[in-house]
């Protein structure tokens, strides 16, 4: 899937975001294609971003993966960029995106 963006130099194709993210109550929730969801522990400025799995709390890495360079929280926008996610401001928009991602096979 691609989307078209317009820049100062014209129109350019870019790959559409593969994940969706919302940050509420100092925690991030991320949805991946296929509908898999993860939540983070409380986000602290300058702290590691950790998955709240209820057990080992692994650190999230670049692309919201479990391997690679570890993410450090700075801003919601930077975290979304590092996770290759689109940041949603409202729960309704996030849930609509999550429903679309649940139908994706990629």
Q: What percent of the chain has pLDDT over 70?
A: 82
28 is a domain residue: yes
Mean predicted confidence (pLDDT) in 48-56: 92
In a domain, 3, yes or no: no
Residue 10 falls inside a structural domain:
no
Asked if 33 and 18 touch (Cβ cutoff 8 Å), the reply is: yes
Per-residue model confidence (pLDDT) at position 8: 45
Structure confidence by residue, pLDDT tens digits, 31-42: 999 999 999 999
* pTM of the entire predicted model: 0.77
Domain containing 26 equals: 18-102
The count of residues in the chain is 106
Q: Is the pLDDT of residue 25 over 90?
A: yes
Q: At 13, is the pLDDT very low, low, confident or very high (cuts 50, 70, 90)?
A: very low
Task: Let me know if residue 1 belongs to a domain.
Answer: no
Residue 11 placed within a domain: no
Quick check: is 43 in a domain? Answer: yes
């Amino acid at each position: 899937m691609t989307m078209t963006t317009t820049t100062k130099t014209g129109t350019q194709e870019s790959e559409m975001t593969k994940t969706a993210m919302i940050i509420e109550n100092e925690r991030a929730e991320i949805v991946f294609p296929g509908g898999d969801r993860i939540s983070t522990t409380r986000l602290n400025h300058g702290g590691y971003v950790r998955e709240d799995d209820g057990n080992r709390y692994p650190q999230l890495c670049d692309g919201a993966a479990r391997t690679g360079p570890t993410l450090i929280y700075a801003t919601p926008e930077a975290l979304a960029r590092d996770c290759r996610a689109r940041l949603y401001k409202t729960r309704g928009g996030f849930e609509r995106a999550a429903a679309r991602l649940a139908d994706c096979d990629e």
